[in-house]
Chain A
Amino acid sequence: MHEHVDSIKTYTLVFLSLLALTLATTVVAAIDLGPFNVVMALFIAVVKMMLVALFFMHLRHSTVLTKVVVGGGMLWLGILLVLSLADFVTRGWLPVPGK
């Protein structure tokens, strides 16, 4: 069987980046960026997620099918969030209570 064995160096670099990003997100959160605080926090979280998934979970060596599965999962999470929020965000657009 052919297996990718990544070097300890790669893993260490990824691990250190993750720690750095954790520190970064904690520090940046204290600075007032207006609405961009949330954007920044989520952006860093997404980067961290990508690092863990691609390197620690070996997604970069995985089959296309596995990548599709993961992408599908994220897409469906998006559907859940976007279509539900479509209700909550548009409430009150029609100036009638409860519409």
Chain B
Amino acid sequence: MITEAVQERENYLNASHGIKSWLLTKDHKRIALLYLHTITFFFFLGGIFATLIRLQLLTPKGGLVSADTYSKLFTLHGVIMIFFFLIPSIPATLGNFFLPMMIGARDLAFPRINLLSWYLLVIGGCFAMYAMLAGGVDTGWTFYVPYSSNYSNTYVIATGLGIFIAGFSSILTGLNFIVTVHRMRAPGMTWFRLPLFVWSNYATALIQVLGTPVIAITLVLLICERTLHIGIFDPARGGDPVLFQHLFWFYSHPAVYIMVLPGLGVISELVSVFSKKPVFGYKVVAFSSVAIAVLGFLVWGHHMFVSGQSVYAALVFSFLSYFVAIPSAIKVFNWTATLHGGSISYATPMLYAFGFIGLFTVGGLTGLFVACLGVDVHVHDTYFVIAHFHYIMVGGTIMAYLGGLHYWWPKMSGRMYPEGWAKLSALIIYLGFNLTFFPQFILGYLGMPRRYWTYPDEFQVLHVMSTAGASVLAVGYLMPLIYFMWSLRYGPIAGPNPWGATGLEWRTASPPPAHNFEETPVVTTDAYDYAALAAMEEAKVG
């Protein structure tokens, strides 16, 4: 459908035709679009589960679905959203499309491996879908043993295999990005001229490479435990279920940063472009991404404060957790400072950026509550935690993802999206999100435990608010789906650089040619040098 949009000039979309030219493509831009379709599918699938969960919780006694189904719903919601949407979301679509372009490369270092990553995600997704259709899985996305190993009668193995395979997709994407950033930069593109989106994707890639193998081995052990009864986590044989939690969170905490770091990179781009100013404290922001990636590996035990972990280990993990707060805070302060004295546009991507900063701030600050030992004992495994991580992942990652999608849409498709509708949907999403998740902070502090099929009557008011918010949110998410598709045919033609942005991706046509650039670009200025851009435009006109 996209191919019909722009026909005058050869670009990556019309360079070749037919289903085979897509399924066997090595072009990072086409692979990014394959990912885009795949994760959009998983996003709405996970969204359907979320909707059913919220509808069930409308009344204290529920009754929409059975307890068994409910357990499967929240498990699949978590599994699909985390492993098949959030983790690939920004790196595999926007990162895949723009990281090579931003550094002036013709493609990623390993184009075939890039395509393989997409296939692995799809195959992993098929396993998860099989588990879903065959009868579901009910362990929670955390797969805690011994429930998942010895007690659950659901499709744990198929789901585990799905995540295992999708994990390799993530590893290979990360590996590809690291090598590409190190070895494929255009002449003159030094490390400190890299756009911050590249820095944050690089930091993300480090986590993908260093963390994901650990979840892989954890799942292998879980699958062995279920099939061969090897007993590594079996308490009856002296096995320790807490060991599983260490292995699980060694990956799954840094995985939070796999999900949010690329979003932080998107926001740095948006804040700069739409205020026409270089990001305040560029180097500090760049290093803070790497710092988050590194420190993110030292804090996993804060998911285990009440798990039977030693109090001294809890002490260490709480202490280290506060260190992650600093680079995150630095980013927020620097974005705010970037706005000072800028030329601030209210284009849709910027609205998403504003929304992101607000929600990420709330998510981050409530993170201080759960990192705080004395408070976490009370709020752990309650709706407070649910609200906290949705503020980071939905309020953070998805806002950034949508912001980035709007920002780069003209480059990807060659067409502009309808600005009015886009602004409206951004507003609806922001309001719907807050109405859905803010009440959950209060619910959690009141003691509402997570993963409950029914609940005491006194919690109903807050649950009703949350469900109402979720329906608003659903409308907000459906709107972009519709108007993006509309814009492919009817959107105004976008020029090569509709936003007046400085990145190399804007120096080539929209949509870009198959090899990105007519000539390998030579970089002579820092990222976000708007004065140089203006001078260049002037020279071109003159």
With A79-B297, A79-B298, A83-B301 in contact, is A90–B214 under 8 Å at CB? no
Most buried by B among A73, A84, A89, A92: A84
* Chain A interface category by residue count: 10 to 19
Interface on B for A, CB 8 Å cutoff?
182, 210, 214, 242-243, 246, 250, 297-298, 300-301, 304, 308-313, 316-317
**B297 with A90: CB separation less than 8 A:** no
Contact A90 B308 (CB under 8 A): no
Closest to B247 in A: A84
Are A83 and B310 in contact, CB atoms less than 8 angstroms apart?
A: no
Is the CB of A35 closer than 8 A to any CB of chain B? no
Residues of A within 8 A of B312 (CB): 86, 90, 93-94
CA distance A65 to B191 in the complex (A): 14
User: Would B182 and A65 count as touching, CB distance under 8 A?
Assistant: yes
Total residue contacts A-B, CB cutoff 8 A: 46
Contact B310 A87 (CB under 8 A): yes
Whether the Cβ atoms of B297 and A87 lie closer than 8 Å is no
Question: In whole angstroms, what is the CA distance A73 to B304 when docked?
Answer: 25
Taking the closest CB of chain B, its distance from the CB of A70, in whole angstroms, is 13
Question: Are B298 and A87 within 8 A (Cβ)?
Answer: no
Contact B250 A90 (CB under 8 A): no
SS class, residues of chain B in contact with chain A: helix
Contact B313 A86 (CB under 8 A): yes
Residues of A within 8 A of B313 (CB): 83, 86-87, 90
A79 to B295, CA, bound (A): 11
A99 touches B301 (CB 8 A): no
Name A87's contact: one of B182, B210, B309 (CB within 8 Å): B309
The interface bits of chain A over 71-92 (1 if a CB of B lies within 8 angstroms of the residue's CB, else 0) are 0110010011001101111111
Assess the B246–A76 pair: CB atoms within 8 A.
no
Contact present for B308 and A98 (CB under 8 Å) = yes
A91 touches B250 (CB 8 A): no
> CB-CB < 8 A to B242: which residues of A?
87
Chain B residues whose CB sits within 8 angstroms of the CB of A79 once the complex forms: 297-298
Min CB distance A64 to B, Å, is 11
For B250, the chain A residues whose CB sits under 8 A away are 80, 84
Residues of B within 8 A of A92 (CB): 310
Chain A residues, Cβ within 8 Å of B300: 83
Q: Report the Cα distance A93→B300, complex, angstroms.
A: 21
A87/B214 in contact, CB under 8 A:
no
Which residue of A87, A90, A98 is within 8 Å of B246 (Cβ)?
A87
